[in-house]
Every structure is written in C-alpha cells, then in structure tokens.
Amino acid sequence: MDKILVGLKRVVDYNVRVQVKSDGSGVETDGVKMSINPFDEIALEEALRIRERGDASEVIVVSIGTAEAQQQLRTGLAMGADRAILVETSDAIDALSGARVFKEIVDREGADMVILGKQAIDDDNSQTGQMLAAIWGRPQATFASEVVLDGDKAKVTREVDVGLETIEIDLPAVITVDLRLNEPRYVKLPDIMKAKKKPLDQIPLGDLGVTPGPAVNAVEFAPPEARQRGITVDDVAGLVSALKDKGLV
C-alpha cells in the first residue's frame, strides 16, 4: 500500500467541561484548551503502525479548518506523520462537505486507505467516514477495534452492540476507529523539532471545488437538564430501605 490519509479534527479537549454560552448562541470556546479529537489520535497511531510494519509508505494527516488547526497537524507530524494538508476555511463545515473534501484529497493523492475517528467529540455526529465511503463507492469498516492487513484486503473487527463483528474488506477503503484499537504514542521533544521541518500544505477550501452545505444548521444551544444530587445514606440498610421506598427492589 502506498498512502494512508488520516483526518485530524481540532476540538475542545476532552477534559474540558463544556459550557453553553448564556445567550444560547454556542458553547464557550474562548480560552479553552483545544486538542486533536481523541479518536483521530488513535486513527493516526494505527496508520503509523501500518507504515512501520512496512505495509504503507506514507502517512498524510489532513485537517479542515482555520489556520489554528496547524497546531494539531504539527502534533500529528510530531507523532510521525510524513506530511500534512490543511484545507483552510473559516466556516464550520458540515459532515457531507467534509467527506467531499476528503474524497478530493483521496483523488489528488491516490490514497489507498483513509483512517478516521469514529466520531468527533464536539458534534458527536459519527458521519464523515461512512459518507466518504459512500461517495467514494468503497468499503467502510466502522468502529474498528482490530485491523489486520492481508495484501489488498483487510480483516477488521468492529465493536457492535452485542459483541465483536469481523468483516473482510477490499482496499481501498475507509476505516473509522474505536477507542480500543490501540494506545497512541506520546510525542517526544526531538520529534516536535523534527516536525517543524516536515511539509504542511495549505489549500483554500475553494480550490477543491467543494461548496459547503446544505447543512443541518444549529439554531439554538442549551445546557442539558441537570440531574439533582439526591440523598446520602449511611449504610447498606439505609440503601435497601431507600430502594424499597421507591419500589425498585
């Protein structure tokens, strides 16, 4: 296999307790820590391992967003990606347009595999990989917890609700990854220095011929209905009687 594309989305760090702005216009992102979507780090780790085993020659990380996403791409380069592409746009991009962007890059690069996170932890949509596979007319192996390559095929084990499902797919294909696929490596300082010299291309969204939309538009944001802290019991007897009071046991 020649090239693997990996998507890296810049999102609010998973440790941040996200707050809805008081006017309902969005969530607070000012001064909030931003990171690579955790699933995308796992996607990149998998691509790097495939390359390190000699089953691919190049790993390219791709992000769609503002110039700030260069930070996440640099981190990806420091992890070990060979080069990076930033598709620049100041507008939030919908999932289908995101998939179209990836399809354009796939065509330009002649990629054999695209590995993405199974969802982004900001909009929790879980759509882009499946949509890319659809418009590319290629297999999708979503929610992967194991990927075994075998020439121009791959066996992928998927986390489904009743257990684990294994499918076989022909390459090229799209894989979206679940948390248990691997544990991403830590970036070391010398790698950060090296990453500064690796190529990072910037392509304006317009150059790819993708016009965003029609999107599913956000109209209003609200905090979730909060659950209230209830009672504290002192011991098992107290717990049993509280459960009995509610008719639960």
Ligand X SMILES: Cc1cc2nc3c(=O)[nH]c(=O)nc-3n(C[C@H](O)[C@H](O)[C@H](O)COP(=O)(O)OP(=O)(O)OC[C@H]3O[C@@H](n4cnc5c(N)ncnc54)[C@H](O)[C@@H]3O)c2cc1C
Residues within window 4-43 making contact with other proteins, judged by CB under 8 A: 12, 14, 17-20, 27
Q: How far is the CB of 117 from ligand X (least distance, A)?
A: 9
| CA–CA dist 216, 137 (Å, integer) | 24
* Residue 148, beta-bridge partner list: 155
Contact call for residue 222 and other proteins (CB under 8 A): yes
Q: How far is the CB of 176 from ligand X (least distance, A)?
A: 13
In single-letter form, the type of residue at position 222 comes to A
Residues 88-107 that bind other proteins (CB under 8 A): 94-96, 99
Q: How far is the CB of 80 from other proteins (least distance, A)?
A: 23
Q: Which does 125 bind (CB under 5 to 8 A by kind): other proteins, ligand X, none?
A: other proteins
* Contacting residue, 138, 175, 205, 210, with other proteins by CB under 8 A: 138
Q: Which two tokens stand for residue 186?
A: 């830590």
Residue 23 or 124: which CB sits closer to ligand X? 124
* Contacting residue, 38, 104, 185, 198, with ligand X by CB under 6 A: 38
Judge whether 4 and 113 are in contact, CB under 8 Å.
yes
Cα torsion at 79, 47, 180, 100 (round to 10°)?
110
Q: How far is the CB of 236 from other proteins (least distance, A)?
A: 5
Residues 148-177 that bind other proteins (CB under 8 A): 155, 158-170, 173
Buried-exposed string 182-219: b where 16+ CB fall within 10 A, e elsewhere: bebeebeeeeeeebeebebeebebeebebebeeeeeee
Q: How far is the CB of 39 from ligand X (least distance, A)?
A: 6
Q: How far is the CB of 15 from ligand X (least distance, A)?
A: 8
Residue 52 or 170: which CB sits closer to other proteins? 170
DSSP 38-56: HHHHHHHHHHHHHHHTTS-
| CA–CA dist 145, 176 (Å, integer) | 9
| CA–CA dist 41, 48 (Å, integer) | 10
Length of the chain: 249
* Contacting residue, 92, 179, 187, 200, with other proteins by CB under 8 A: 179
# of chain residues touching ligand X (CB under 6 A): 3
Q: In angstroms, how far apart are the furthest CA atoms of the chain?
A: 69
User: Please, what is the Cα angle at 28 between 202 and 39, to 5 degrees?
Assistant: 55
* Contacting residue, 16, 18, 121, 149, with ligand X by CB under 6 A: 121
Residue 106 or 120: which CB sits closer to ligand X? 120
Residues at the interface with ligand X (CB under 6 A):
14, 38, 121
